[in-house]
Structure formats: structure tokens, C-alpha cells
Structure 1
């Protein structure tokens, strides 16, 4: 029986809109615990982490709410790392995507401890590779990947004990369709592997995911960081930054099912769900459905793979 731990991080200190702080409870209301338990998982809900309130201030020295973001990420790091040390699969329920700094720093630290390689799937509409010099807003939820790669304030880049926490070649970004001009150049310079929506349109979801998952072996820890705005806003309106043209329901299901088929997922973030902008908790229900697919839900027991 796989052991899974739910960790709520109810904050929107890194975001441009208020409301992501309510995301963890929305997923609980949508039945996440029950859905995973029905899949035969040993599920424990650790409740919500506590941290500083959102002061809703303007940016200072290129960052909005840096002190609060650092404190939340340290608490996320500690909680995720503790679950990994106890051989449980942690699911971080966000909260805005700046929390990915603490989450993935913890996963990278665990991989260093255990001698495992790390692969990160970043499912998102945005590259989140801004810096204070490049960001038009100063919102740190647009900077987590850059911080993890060592580009950012030391208070964030050193969480987890190694700088940088990850190497750009460990990450695969999928579904990207909104990148700032300076950020676009920086992504190119650092050599991030980005499968944007044009790529997905041209080659299809199946080939995209095969490429993103290529090379996984039994010594690889697969971390999935799922920003709900990865999805097309027609099916997932409950996010702060809706960008048209994202994956459809079936495309998203195929992504999740192919990840599940690897059997390698060892940790998960679910980020940026904003119930204040949702319709009757529709986006949370969809998120729970997709998380179930990450843990093996499928229509039938498949006898064989379809032809290539």
C-alpha cells in the first residue's frame, strides 16, 4: 500500500491575486482524501501549515512579500522533507506557485540523501523563470524555477542546503504559453527543456509526454508540479492567471495517465487553485479527478498499449 500525505499551504503571498490561500480547503471539499483512499492508498491529511498573513504590499527591491514568501517556503520545505524521510509520498496543496521553491528544494535534498536522480515535470501555462530584474510585477510566483536554479535572493536559493537546488536539465516544462520577453531570452540561455503549446499542437500529447519522461529508471525520483492554470480556462476557470489555449480535459488526462504508467512519481504539488474565481468548485473537482489519474485511475484495465 502506497503511503500518501496531504499538506495544505494556505497562502497567496507570492501571487498577483488573492484567493489561492483557499485552494487546499477547496480540494478537501472536492473529496481528495476520499478519492485517493478509494484507490487503495494509505492517506493521511497533515492539515494546514501556519505562516505569515498576506500583507498585500507593493514590491520592495524587486520582490513582493519576500520575507513572507521565505517563511512559507521554509515551512513547506520542512514538512515535505519530513514526509519523504518517512517514505511517504507528499502532496502539497497550494497556495501559489512560489511554494514550489520549498517543495522542490526538499525533494532535491531527499534525492541527495538517497543517491537518486531527480526529474521534475512543471505543468504550467507559465515558465516561472523570472528574476527581480525581469519581472514586471515583482510577484515571486513567477520566479520559482529561476530560484531553484540559483537565480534569486539567497534567502530563497539556499533553502534545502544546496545552491542551486536543481540543474535546468532536470526539469521539463509542459503546456507553456505565456512567457515575458526578458524571461524568454533567459529560458533560452539556461537551456530549459520547454514543451510549449505550439509543440504539443504540432506533435501531440503522447509524443510530448514520451519525450518528457524519456530516461526515467528505478533510481529516478519523479516530481510533478501541477499548476492548475496549465489547463485551458474553459474547463478550469478557478485560477488567478487564465491563459487561453491550454490542454483540454482529455489531453490533461493523457498527461496524468502517462505519468502514472511510469510508476516513478514520488511527490506532487497542486498549485494556484483559486476558489474565489471558480464556479461551484468546478476547478477543484477537476483537479481531484486528474490527481486520481496520477495514481492510476483509468477507464479499463488495458491489455496492451495502442500502436505507435
Structure 2
């Protein structure tokens, strides 16, 4: 894995309706992320936070059942431009959210540098909705679909190309809350998904072995998109859309340790940390701990 990390914060809260997730990047930094990674001998460039456009006060506009479409699209474009520069310089992009809509910008900036970028989507949700299928119109439930080229063109065409990734290069881990439209899309595209049923029946070591093996020969880089709501709410309470019955702290550390051992991860983002909903910054601390394992730290 690249020893030179460039950190980008994305204080985005417009992809959903619960305020506070825009403070996620600050909470993660406050939990000691930079110091933790420097102890592992990484060179860190903290590039600060992307400037996110704000809708007019008391306005949460929906266009085509997409809440804050223009602002989310513009924020994603700004992120994509910065991530593109980081990859161009040969550095590892480490992106801090913010809600999960930011993945559209992250992947747009990364995928143009790869022929077959793989994605591990570590999440309770599939994030495969569109304006037509979404019950809420919240764009943080759509970034994986958008990155596959499915959705509104203002989102799918960030940096003027689409799709960013191929469905056969995606593995979803930890899913336990899928809308009907998402289930249909997964079936149509033949996407690989390890739900909590598979995690429980197979065990996390087997799930990650299969994930790594599946992506190893078909991709030329792998992006990890980790939503903290992939973990059980008892482990990570500070998230906007908690779903009971999630991944444990230890399972998640093991997954990150195995990804480090595979040396296949070329970029990563950690999203949906909401300190307003958290308990003494517990979720941000969990995120930092998982980063430690992803970058080579071992739990004692």
C-alpha cells in the first residue's frame, strides 16, 4: 500500500436530512487519526476540507425526487477534482465524510485512473437507489448506483464520464437493509453481496477471503468505501441510519487487517460519522481504529 496518504475532509450533510454529519471529518481528526497513522510511519498530507455549497436557508429542494441535487452534484464535482489531483501525484486518497453521497465524487476522481477499479462497499445498505426508486429522495442512498452510471445525469456524469465502475467489480459486505428496487438491481447486474446472513453463516474470515480472491484477478485497484452504519449501532451509535444486527467491532477489525495483508486497497473513504448522534465521539474513535487496522496496525 502507498506510504503517502492525502487526507480530504468532506463536510457534506445534504445527501440526507439529519444534521451533524458535516462535522464528521472534524470528529475523526479529533479522535487522533493523523497521529495514529503517523505512528505507523505513513507520510500524511492533510489537505483540509472541501468547500460544500449550501442551499438557501430553510430550503431543501427536490428535483426529480432528489434532495439538494444541485448542491450535492457541485460538492461531488469539487471533491472529484481534488481526488483526481491526489491520484495524479501518486498518493493514496483517504477521504473523510460527511454522508455517503460523497462516494460519487471520490469514485469519479479515482476511477479515471484505472481500467477496472474494484470497490468494497462496507455498509448496512446497498446505496443502489435512484430518484425513481428511492422512498426518501436522499442522495446518500444512491452513490453506488450513480457510480454504475444509473441515475440522474448531473450525478452520473461527474468529471464528464460514466460509468465509473462495473457491477462485476463491486462487493457489498454487511448489507441488511435493502429496498426492493435495490434487490432487483443487484439481481439484474449479478452483483456480489455478502449480507449479514452470509457473514453469520460463513464467518468474517471466509467472507473476506472470498472478497479478496474475487477482486484480486479482475481489478487493477480497489477502493474501500466504509460506512460506519455497517457496524452494529451498539458499536457505532453516531450514524444517521442505524440498523440493528450489524457487524461487530472485532469482525470489522479483522476485515481491515485482512485487507491490509492483501495489499490491494488503493484508496479509501470513511463516512457517516455524526458526532451529534454519538456518545463521547465513540463512532469517530471506532473509525480511527479501523483505519489503524487497514493501514497495518494489529489489535493487541
TM over 0.5: yes
**Residue deviations 1:95-132, cap 9 Å, x none?**
111110110121110114xxxx3211000000000011
Q: CA RMSD in A?
A: 1.5
* Offset, 1:78: 0.7
Q: Structure 1 segments of 4 or more deviating over 6 A?
A: none
Distance in structure 2 (CA, Å) of the matches to 1:66 and 1:22: 21
Question: C-alpha displacement at 1:166, in angstroms?
Answer: 1.1
- Give the count of matched residue pairs: 296
Matches within 5 A, 1:1-308: 2-55=3-56, 56-112=59-115, 117-214=116-213, 215-216=215-216, 220-299=220-299
Post-superposition offset of 1:217: 5.3
Unaligned runs of 5+ in 1: 301-308
Aligned-pair CA distance for 1:182: 2.3
| Cα offsets for 1:123-169 (capped at 9, x unmatched) | 00000000111100000000111111111111111113322111101
SS in 2 for 1:146: helix
Q: Is the 8 A contact 1:49 1:75 kept in 2?
A: yes
Alpha carbons 1:158, 1:165 under 8 Å: kept: no
Indicate the larger mover: 57-66 or 213-222. Answer: 213-222
Residues in 1 aligned to 2:97 and 2:210: alpha-carbon distance in whole angstroms: 28
Q: 1:17 to 1:119 in 2, by over 3 A?
A: same
Contact 2:169–2:219 (Cα < 8 Å) also in 1 = no
Q: Distance in 2 between matches of 1:266 and 1:242?
A: 28
Would you say the 8 A contact 1:8–1:93 is kept in 2?
yes
Deviations 1:203-228 (A, max 9, x none): 11011111111141597211100001
Change (3 A) 1:173 1:263: same
Once residues 208 and 32 of structure 2 are traced to their aligned partners in structure 1, the CA distance between those partners, rounded to angstroms, is 28
Structure-2 change in CA distance of 1:172 and 1:218 (3 Å): closer
Deviation at 1:7, TM superposition (A): 0.3
Counterpart contact for 1:8–1:47, Cα < 8 Å: yes
Query: In structure 2, how many angstroms separate the alpha carbons of the residues matched to 1:163 and 1:252?
Result: 31
Deviation string, structure 1 residues 247-305 (Cα, Å, up to 9, x no partner): 111111111001100112111111111001001101101110010000011147xxxxx
Q: Which one is further off, 51-60 or 17-26?
A: 51-60
35-44 or 15-24, which deviates more: 15-24
Structure 1 217/37 Cα, relative in aligned 2: closer, same or farther at 3 Å?
Answer: farther
In 1, distance between residues paired with 2:169 and 2:16? Answer: 25
Once the two structures are TM-superposed, the CA of residue 35 in structure 1 deviates from its matched residue by 0.4
The DSSP-based 3-state class of the residue aligned with 1:69 is: helix
Q: Secondary structure at the match of 1:233?
A: coil
> What is the DSSP-based 3-state SS (H/G/I as helix, E as strand, rest coil) of the residue aligned with 1:22?
helix
User: SS at the partner of 2:66?
Assistant: coil
Matches of 1:119 and 1:194 in 2, distance apart? 14
Unaligned runs of 5+ in 2: none
- Secondary structure at the aligned position of 1:260 is classed as helix
* Secondary structure in structure 2 of the residue aligned to 1:111: coil
Is the Cα contact below 8 Å between 2:8 and 2:93 reproduced in 1? yes
Moved more, 99-108 or 122-131: 99-108
